[in-house]
Amino acid sequence: MRIISYNVNGIRAAMNKGLMDWLKTEPADIICIQETKAHRDNVNYQLFTDLGYDDYWFSAQKKGYSGVAVFTKIKPDHVEYGTGHKVSDDEGRVIQLDFGDIRLINAYFPSGTSGDERQTFKYGWLSEFQTYVDNLRKQKPKLILCGDYNIAHNEIDIHDPKGNKKSSGFLPEEREWMTKFLESGWVDTFRTFHQEPHRYSWWSQRFPTVRLNNKGWRIDYISVTEALRANLVAADIYPDVKHSDHCPVYLELKP
């Protein structure tokens, strides 16, 4: 099972920048997309079908905002839309698919960059989501959580930790949530295989040289529960794939 997680920052914009040509190279069996900023009917989804993908969408009620989707060549046994957390579901933040005894969760975590109100919402969302996955694990111990977490966990995960210590996405409370989340029985799959610095998945678009100079953040993750640790084969980040201000992250699992 090969999985890609990718915040495309608007799927129609990404398609205009060559997303479909990249998918033709068959980078993974399952493509988890965040921030679609579109409903299925607004997109030429037949293009994904033509490449052999079944497509599943969970879009925000607000047009042009948020939203997640999964394109998969492996038929899921079950698809679940949302988590029952109304505000989160209205924003189209979580879609879940079952493949045998594995539950794949594709999530777009909230950002707090727009101000205190959204930062407060983010903390509430993190707490609610932690409770949700804790309960889910009792029924389904084999979980994969991929998505844009909007948190750089450690100093190695951000180009300028000192300069960003008061920036949303690298605040002490967010980093502490991530630490406790991983300590509760989750594995950061990328760090299982890669301990080297300067590996990032997002670069600000405010300054054109930021990505060129690799001044980025690692805020996109594929985590698995401990029950799947022994199944890990490989993980990576693909900074040379450029349809978005993010890049894809990759995980391969053996059955």
User: Which tens digit of pLDDT belongs to each residue from 79-121?
Assistant: 999 999 999 999 999 999 999 999 999 999 999 998 899 999 9
Q: What does pTM read for this prediction? A: 0.97
CB atoms within 10 A of CB 165: 13
Where does the chain have alpha helices with state H?
Answer: 11-16, 19-23, 46-50, 86-90, 116-139, 172-183, 189-193, 209-212
Strand partners, 56: 70
Number of domains in the chain: 1
Active site residues: 148
Within 8 A by CB and 6+ apart from 150, the residues are: 109, 110, 111, 112, 122, 168, 169, 219
Closest C-alpha to 250, from 193, 176, 181? 193
pLDDT in tens, the chain (255 residues): 999 999 999 999 999 999 999 999 999 999 999 999 999 999 999 999 999 999 999 999 999 999 999 999 999 999 999 999 999 999 999 999 999 999 999 999 999 998 899 999 999 999 999 999 999 999 999 999 999 999 999 999 999 999 999 999 999 999 999 999 999 999 999 999 999 999 999 999 988 899 999 999 999 999 999 999 999 999 999 999 999 999 999 999 998
**Is the CB of residue 152 less than 8 Å from the CB of residue 219?**
yes
CATH code of the domain covering residue 129: 3.60.10.10
Question: Containing domain of residue 60, as a range?
Answer: 2-253
Note the pLDDT of residue 28.
98
Handedness of CA 78, 221, 83, 138 (dihedral sign): positive
For 197, counting Cβ atoms within 10 Å of its Cβ (0-12 exposed, 13-18 middle, 19+ buried), the class is exposed
